[in-house]
Amino acid sequence: MKIGELSKTSGCSIQTIRFYEKEGLLSDPERTEGNFRLYDVTALKQLEFVKHCRSLDISLIDIKRLIDLKNKPEESCSSVNALIAQQLALVKKRMKELKALKNELQQMASTCNSDNTIEGCGIIKSLDS
């Protein structure tokens, strides 16, 4: 299949597919005599793996590590476990930061009502200080 069909099948844009190729996350595709990229089911599966990792907010560097590890099936999975534990710690940290952000925004929202003018707006005043 050509890149347009891979894009349609996978739900990834053509630019994203080319970017993943450039970053080494996808195998180099076969080429036609006219230099068009040709993809197979393996390429689609690689792309789906990368997409799934990205949906878990795993970084491109860590996805490369996972791909490398995936290609060494005889090795221990302890490094995969460590990578996911690290990712989980990052998610917990972001959740804590987002909770603090939510609290601050709620506090700001409570300082003003829509009947005020901009001059009397508690939100603007709290941003100014």
Query: pLDDT tens for residues 84-93?
Result: 999 999 999 9
Quick: pLDDT tens for 12-46: 999 999 999 999 999 989 998 898 889 999 999 99
| pLDDT for the residue numbered 90 | 95
Name the residue with tokens 């450039």: 22
Q: Does domain 1-75 have CATH number 1.10.3720.10?
A: no
pLDDT band at 121, cuts 50/70/90?
Answer: confident
Mean pLDDT of 104-108: 93
Residues 6+ apart with CB under 8 A from 116: 122
12 and 52 Cβ atoms separated by less than 8 Å: no
Give me the residue spans of the domains in the chain: 1-75, 91-129
Q: What is the pTM of this model?
A: 0.79
Residue with tokens 């860590």: 62
